Structures are given as C-alpha cells and as structure tokens.
C-alpha cells in the first residue's frame, strides 16, 4: 500500500478569550498543516472564596456557547474547503486521576465533562470519537496517565511529546521540564510503561500550544493515509498508522515483514525483515529499533555518509533562522521585528519547510529559483509557568535546493544582500549579526557608545543563523535489516537527527504463530 504523508498538530488549545480569533488560528494552521484538529480549552483560572487561584472549567453556559461557535465554524470550513479537513475537539481533564486527554470527533459530538475517564467513555458511546492522552509521564493521580483505567478502542493513540517535553519513559534522553508546577516526570505513567503493560496504542506528538497552532519545535503528528479525506485520516488514527516528531517534518515509514506501523501480526519466521524509510529536516545521526521498550538494534547512520565526497551538482537542505535581538529588560518596548527578505539560487528550490512559531509570517515562491518572505519575530514576557511558550523563539525556513557546488545562494534581508557559495554552506554554521543597528540603538537610548567587551551591543543585536548545509544522502534512508525473532514482542523505531530532533514510529506487535 502506498500512503500519503500528512502532518498535523492535534493539540492546539484555543481558549474562551481566543474564540473571536478562531479564523486567524485557522489561517495559520492552513499554512503549516495538512489538516487540523481543534482542541477547545474550556478551563480558566478563577480565584477561590479563600483567595487561592484555581484552574477550573468555565460555567457550562459559556462553554456551550463556545462549543456551538466551534461546531458551526468546523462545519462551514469543511464545506467550503474540504481539501483542508477540520476535526472538532476539546480537552478533558476530569478530576486529574486518569490523566489529561484531548477528545476528538470524526464529525460531531457533545462536550461532556465527567470526573473520570470511564464515565467519559460511557458518555460518548455511539459517537465516532477518540480520546488522546497527553503529557502522560507526570505523576499518577496528579494529571499523569492512569494506565489501569485505559481503554485501547477509546484511546488508540497517545501523545509522546509536546511543549511539555517527552513522555516516552521516566529516563528518556529528552527532558520534561517546561512546567515547574506540574513536574517532575516520573515512572509508571509513561508511554513505554503502558506498552510494556500490554496496551496497544499508536504514537503521535503535538504541541499543547495555547497561543498559536502548529508552533515549530513543540511537536507534530505524522499520519499515513490513503488520501487527505476525513474518512481516511480517521481510519489512520484508529488503526495507529501514525508517528510523532519533535520538530520539522519527518517522513517516516516503518514496516516488519511488510506490516506497517500500528499493525499486529503472527509469524512462524525465525527472522524478521525490518524496513525503515525516512526523510528528515536535518541529517540523520542514528536509528534505534526498540523491542519491548528496550534498545534492540542501532543503525549508526552518520558514519555511513559523513566522509562521502560531495557531487558537483547536488541536492541539499539548510535552515535559515531569524530572531534574537534587544533584551526586554533593557528595551522593554521593542517586542517584535518585521523582516523582509528573499532567497535566490541559480539552481532550483525543491522544497521549503516553514519553521514558524507565531502569527504574521508569509512566503511567496515566485519561481523554482526565487522566493520572497516576510517574517515577524517576537519576544515574550510570559513566564512559562502556566500557558507560556519557550522564552526564545525564532522564525525561519528549511530550504531544499539542487545546485552546482560552486554556485551562489543570494540572501537578501531588509535591503542588504548576503552571498554564500554552496560550498561554503557545507563547511559550518554561520551567524549574520546586525551589530551596527544595535550600536545605533544604544546611542539613541542611552548615549552609550563604548565598552571593554561587546556584550551591550552583541547581546542586543538581531541575528540570522545560516545553518550548515546537509547533502541529500544524509537526510534520507531506505534500508532493510533482518533480525532474529524468538518471542512475542512489540517493536518501534526512534530516529535521532544531528540537530537533536527526534521522531518515533508507532509500534508493531508480532507474535509467534
């Protein structure tokens, strides 16, 4: 079966106060995703009669009014633009004893808010609905996942990664440190804990974003679907043909004996054929096949390509990031910057991936060798303790280009041209620093011009990072491995990129028969 790779954020939490901006959220999601599942967030912070702030659900009449607005919005958009399907959903937390779940309907359904997961399941019987657990690895009974109450058919997929961090296991390599009030991560509630207990769930990642949908770096879900229709997307979710990635678009296919991820099958074979096919945003460092939650086989890919000479005409990817700039503590009024730019090559632009974190971005591909863009980079004063995003955000792109190694890439930023030979891009990462603008700002605001080190100027300068280019051979794998099979097991793969990004497949369950 040939599947399409579809990408989404199944955890965009739009609050009551943001409902009036739902079309802006929709337009952003449409720029970044192949379909969108809205996760309405009916909660808010209220002050108790004793004075303590508490998170609680809004009064039901307010919630129902919001729910009706979202219902009508989803219906209208699905009718006017079926090429970008929308799914209706909301976040359910209950009493915190079973873990937080996002409830999504294939078509329509009610917003119900019982205290326990089993009652949520019972209340929604008869609907085409799933409940996706998220930030699983927090403490049991304190908003972490309660595997003892889990129902596979109701929750066929789980969210392994989000802005909270990784819920893979208690001791995984990716931290879970964003929220000081909900942490730390613990054992017994994680994704691997559930799989080891025998539950059969697919794996996605998604943002848990409360300010903008599809925020880069907070996790995305990958879907293997026959086409882009709602029916086929829903079929992929139910059958666990899904995977998760921390940042950037990863095309990931994992099969065992031609059974795709999410499958269960029996075999009398003594050897299993594991097929991995991957395309990443950056170079691939290694791929680990896990068996029953433990590393089983590691394919160290970096050593396979890193010494290979570059062709004269080659395809490659490189990332361009915009941001940084004046410290808010020193320049509190400077909270964003608008960048106007372009990129031109004598070769051809094969693809452009948007690495966007906020509203206000645009891209216009004028022809196969030239594009123009407008970006807005922002600072944040949010603490990160409740709904705040990471304190450092950038905006940018990953360009995939085919060109002569001796040709030039011309990057224009706010009227200034920066020329880089393709061969130079492969040597190292570079930073363009707008130092003179920073010095001018210090002069205007403080009449300050000199210091014995560069900190007052460099630390407050806007910057553009031109990341090291990677050849096509580094970010694509299509490989088979034959591994011994001697016991019932579940297998999944974990892909490590050189830039620290990670992707996970859903498991495949194999039994002897």
The domains located in the chain, with CATH, are 4-249 (3.20.20.140), 250-309+473-513 (2.60.40.10), 313-425+430-466 (no CATH)
Quick: pLDDT tens for 190-208. Answer: 999 999 999 999 999 999 9
Q: Could you report how far apart the first and last alpha carbons of the chain are, in Å?
A: 24
Distance CA 33, CA 46 (A): 34
Angle between helices 22-32 and 60-80 (to 10 degrees): 50
- Cβ-based burial of 139 (10 A; exposed 0-12, middle 13-18, buried ≥19): middle
Range scoring the smallest mean pLDDT among 24-28, 273-277, 329-333: 329-333
Q: Can you tell me which residue has the tokens 């990642």?
A: 205
Q: Which whole-number Å values give the CA distances from 204 to 38, 96, 219, 346, 479, in the listed order? A: 16, 22, 9, 39, 23
Mean pLDDT value across residues 475-504: 97
Regarding beta strands 36-41 and 12-15, do their DSSP bridges make them parallel or antiparallel, or are they unpaired? parallel
Mean pLDDT value across residues 296-300: 98
> Is the pLDDT reported for residue 441 higher than 80?
yes
Quick: pLDDT tens for 111-166. Answer: 999 999 999 999 999 999 999 999 999 999 999 999 999 999 999 999 999 999 99
Quick: pLDDT tens for 62-101. Answer: 999 999 999 999 999 999 999 999 999 999 999 999 999 9
Question: Which strand ranges, in their side-by-side order, compose the sheet holding 408-413?
Answer: 362-367, 370-378, 336-345, 408-413, 416-421
Other CB atoms closer than 10 Å to residue 365's CB: what's the count? 14
Say what the pTM is. 0.96
Quick: pLDDT tens for 446-477. Answer: 999 999 999 999 999 999 999 999 999 999 99
pLDDT for residue 391: 59
Mean pLDDT value across residues 363-391: 76
Percent of the chain past pLDDT 90, that is, above it, reads 93
> Is the pLDDT reported for residue 380 higher than 90?
no
Other CB atoms closer than 10 Å to residue 245's CB: what's the count? 26
As a whole number, the mean pLDDT across the chain is 95
> Is the pLDDT reported for residue 267 higher than 80?
yes
- 413 in helix, strand or coil? strand
> Is the pLDDT reported for residue 310 higher than 80?
yes
pLDDT band of 384, cuts 50, 70, 90: very low
- 31 in helix, strand or coil? helix
Mean pLDDT value across residues 358-370: 96
Contacts of 92 (CB under 8 A, 6+ apart): 100, 101, 102, 103, 113, 120, 131
Mean pLDDT value across residues 289-300: 98
pLDDT band of 490, cuts 50, 70, 90: very high
pLDDT for residue 383: 43
Mean pLDDT value across residues 354-381: 92
Higher pLDDT, 275 or 177: 275
pLDDT for residue 1: 80
Pair 104, 10: CB distance under 8 Å: yes
pLDDT for residue 181: 86
pLDDT band of 326, cuts 50, 70, 90: very high
pLDDT band of 392, cuts 50, 70, 90: low
- Helix-strand-coil split of the chain, %, nearest 5: 20, 40, 40
pLDDT for residue 308: 87
Phi, psi of 242 (to 5 degrees): -140, 165
Mean pLDDT value across residues 431-438: 98
Q: Where are the alpha helices (DSSP H) in 141-253?
A: 191-196, 230-238
> Is the pLDDT reported for residue 381 higher than 50?
no
């Amino acid at each position: 079966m040939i599947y399409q790779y579809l990408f989404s954020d199944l955890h965009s939490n739009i609050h009551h106060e943001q409902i009036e901006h739902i079309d802006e959220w929709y337009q952003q999601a449409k720029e970044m995703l192949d379909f969108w599942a809205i996760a309405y967030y009916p909660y808010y912070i209220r002050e108790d009669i004793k004075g303590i702030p508490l998170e609680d659900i809004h009064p039901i009449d307010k919630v129902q009014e919001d729910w009706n607005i979202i219902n009508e919005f989803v219906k209208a958009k699905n009718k006017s633009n079926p090429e970008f399907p929308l799914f209706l959903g909301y976040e359910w937390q209950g009493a915190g004893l079973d873990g937080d779940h996002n409830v999504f309907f294939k078509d329509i359904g009610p917003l119900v808010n019982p205290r326990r997961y089993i009652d949520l399941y019972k209340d929604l019987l008869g609907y085409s609905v799933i409940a996706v657990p998220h930030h699983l690895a927090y403490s049991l009974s304190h908003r972490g996942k309660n595997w003892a109450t889990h129902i596979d058919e109701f929750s066929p997929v789980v969210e392994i990664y989000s802005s909270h961090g990784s819920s893979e296991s208690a001791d995984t390599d990716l931290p879970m440190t964003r929220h000081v009030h909900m942490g730390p991560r613990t054992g017994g509630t994680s994704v691997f804990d559930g799989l080891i207990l025998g539950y059969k769930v697919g794996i996605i990642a998604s943002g848990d974003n409360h300010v903008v949908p599809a925020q880069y770096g907070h996790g995305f879900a990958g879907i293997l679907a026959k086409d882009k229709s709602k029916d086929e997307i829903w079929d992929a979710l139910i059958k666990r043909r899904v995977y998760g990635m921390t940042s950037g678009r990863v095309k990931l296919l994992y099969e065992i004996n031609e059974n795709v991820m999410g499958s269960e099958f029996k075999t009398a074979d003594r050897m299993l054929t594991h097929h991995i096919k991957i395309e990443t945003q950056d170079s691939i460092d290694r791929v680990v096949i896990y068996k029953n939650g433990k590393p089983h086989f590691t394919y160290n890919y970096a050593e396979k390509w890193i010494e290979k000479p570059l062709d004269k005409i080659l395809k490659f990817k490189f990332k361009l990031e915009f941001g940084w700039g004046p410290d808010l503590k020193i320049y509190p009024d400077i909270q964003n910057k608008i960048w106007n730019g372009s990129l031109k090559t004598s070769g051809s632009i094969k693809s452009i991936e948007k690495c966007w974190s906020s509203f206000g971005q645009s891209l216009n591909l004028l022809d196969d060798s030239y594009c123009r863009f407008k970006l807005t980079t922002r600072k944040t004063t949010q603490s990160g303790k409740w709904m705040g995003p990471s304190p450092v955000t950038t905006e940018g792109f990953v360009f995939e280009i085919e060109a002569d190694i001796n040709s030039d890439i011309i990057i224009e930023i706010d009227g200034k041209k920066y020329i880089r030979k393709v061969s130079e891009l492969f040597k190292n990462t570079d930073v363009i620093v707008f130092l003179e603008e920073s010095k001018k700002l210090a002069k205007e605001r403080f009449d300050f011009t000199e210091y014995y080190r560069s900190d007052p100027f460099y630390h407050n300068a806007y910057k553009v990072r031109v990341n090291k280019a990677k050849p096509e051979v580094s970010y694509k794998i299509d490989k088979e491995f034959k591994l011994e099979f001697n016991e019932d097991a579940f297998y999944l793969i974990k892909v490590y990129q050189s830039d620290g990004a990670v992707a996970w497949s859903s498991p495949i369950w194999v039994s002897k028969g």
